[in-house]
């Protein structure tokens, strides 16, 4: 349930409400808005009925949160969440672009792609050091060395870095090298990983599972937020359907659906959705038009040599062209790039 305090509620009254919730064994998540304080009460509500809380001084209203996810829901927070990472604000008017190779390969290649995407206007460099590969014999990523290359690329270019975590034991490495931690589609329901990442103060991008519904995606995001981390963004990256013409089916309606149900920013990754270079640009444009807060794109200077996903990578020159077009689309829908 949500406890809405009166605009004139004192700090003492607020503390008394919080204490009441904690004493009952429930968890209060406090949102301090400009006008008033709102507290989401998480846990088994049978131990503390809404009547007890509504009778307390300073309380204006107690409302149930009807959706199964609570902290993630628009019912809990009306305003969009904006994640500020060193001045790069995700979830506001500006559509952010994350671009780079599928995986970190050689240092030289990473640096040259990073320079290319930076010149074209990307703000965030992507690149996997731990790769979730379908076959155990495929390239699994450079691990810690790859993370070090990403850190060096950040120093050289000023780009922020997003990279995937697969194992909670790598959390300290992530804290050191990543600006945004990515949880990949295959780990969307790895609940221990979600809670672990949620217990740190570091922005997270959670990708939609291959066969997950929007509700399941939001419930997974709830695991991260329930552990304390409020800096969560979601990513639509295509879902598996009967269609085989594309790698996955990009569910663009999820962008609008998520905007209605949740206050969290939503990013679209057309590269993994379509899986073919020539289909990436049209879907990236459609995603911006649909209201995505950001776009993630795979870019490679030599796709034939890429260790993975070369068939969906954009060449730097095509990425540049696409960025110019995305800018115009963003303006047409009252956004900017």
Interface ranges with ligand PEP (CB under 6 A): 102, 128, 132, 164, 184-186, 207, 237, 272
Interaction partner, residue 184 (ligand PEP, Mn ion, none; CB < 5-8 Å by kind) = ligand PEP
Residue closer to ligand PEP (CB basis): 83 or 188: 188
How many residues touch Mn ion under the rule CB under 5 A: the total is: 2
Q: How many CB atoms lie within 10 A of CB 285?
A: 18
> Residue 45: how many CA atoms within 13 Å on its side-chain side?
17
Q: How far is Cα 314 from Cα 64, in angstroms, rounded to an integer?
A: 47
Of 100, 156, 158, 88, the residue nearest 319 (C-alpha): 100
Residue closer to ligand PEP (CB basis): 186 or 320: 186
To Mn ion, the closest distance from the beta carbon of 271 in angstroms equals 7
Burial class (CB in 10 A: 0-12, 13-18, 19+), 31: middle
To ligand PEP, the closest distance from the beta carbon of 104 in angstroms equals 11
How would DSSP label each residue in 80-123?
A: PP-EEETTEEETSSBPEEEEE-SB---HHHHHHHHHHHHHHT--
- Binders of Mn ion among residues 87 to 146 (CB under 5 A) are 102
To ligand PEP, the closest distance from the beta carbon of 188 in angstroms equals 8
Of 230, 313, 215, the residue nearest 29 (C-alpha): 230
Q: How far is Cα 308 from Cα 140, in angstroms, rounded to an integer?
A: 10
Interaction partner, residue 185 (ligand PEP, Mn ion, none; CB < 5-8 Å by kind) = ligand PEP
Interaction partner, residue 177 (Mn ion, ligand PEP, none; CB < 5-8 Å by kind) = none
Interaction partner, residue 207 (ligand PEP, Mn ion, none; CB < 5-8 Å by kind) = ligand PEP
Contact between 309 and Mn ion per CB under 5 A = yes
Residue closer to ligand PEP (CB basis): 116 or 164: 164
To Mn ion, the closest distance from the beta carbon of 126 in angstroms equals 9
């Amino acid at each position: 349930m949500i406890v809405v305090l009166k605009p004139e509620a004192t700090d003492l009254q607020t503390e008394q409400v919080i204490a009441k919730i904690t004493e009952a064994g429930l968890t209060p998540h406090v949102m301090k808005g400009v006008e008033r304080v709102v507290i989401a009460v998480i846990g088994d509500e049978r131990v503390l009925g809404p009547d007890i809380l509504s009778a307390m001084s300073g309380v204006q209203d107690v409302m149930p949160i009807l959706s199964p996810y609570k902290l993630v829901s628009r019912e809990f927070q009306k305003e969009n969440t904006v994640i500020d990472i060193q001045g790069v604000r995700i979830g506001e008017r500006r559509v952010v672009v994350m671009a780079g190779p599928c995986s970190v390969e050689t240092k030289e290649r990473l640096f040259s792609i990073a320079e290319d995407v930076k010149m074209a206007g990307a703000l965030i460099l992507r690149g996997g050091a731990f790769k979730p590969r379908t076959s155990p014999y495929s390239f699994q990523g450079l691990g810690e060395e790859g993370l070090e290359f990403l850190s060096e690329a950040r120093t050289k270019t000023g780009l922020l870095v997003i990279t995937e975590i697969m194992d909670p034991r790598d959390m300290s490495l992530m804290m050191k090298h990543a600006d945004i931690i990515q949880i990949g589609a295959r780990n969307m329901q790895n609940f221990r990983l979600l809670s672990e990442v949620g217990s740190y103060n570091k922005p997270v991008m959670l990708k939609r599972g291959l066969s997950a519904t929007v509700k399941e995606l939001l419930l997974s995001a709830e695991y991260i937020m329930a552990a304390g981390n409020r800096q969560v963004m979601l990513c639509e990256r295509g879902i598996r359907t009967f269609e085989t013409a594309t790698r996955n089916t990009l569910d663009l309606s999820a962008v609008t659906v998520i905007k209605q149900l949740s206050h969290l920013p939503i990013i679209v990754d057309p590269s993994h959705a379509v899986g073919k270079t020539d289909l990436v640009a049209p879907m990236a444009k459609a995603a911006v038009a649909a209201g995505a807060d950001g776009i993630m794109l795979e870019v490679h200077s030599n796709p034939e040599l890429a260790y993975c996903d070369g068939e969906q990578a954009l060449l730097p020159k095509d990425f540049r062209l696409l960025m110019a077009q995305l800018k115009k689309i963003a303006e047409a829908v009252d956004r900017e790039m």
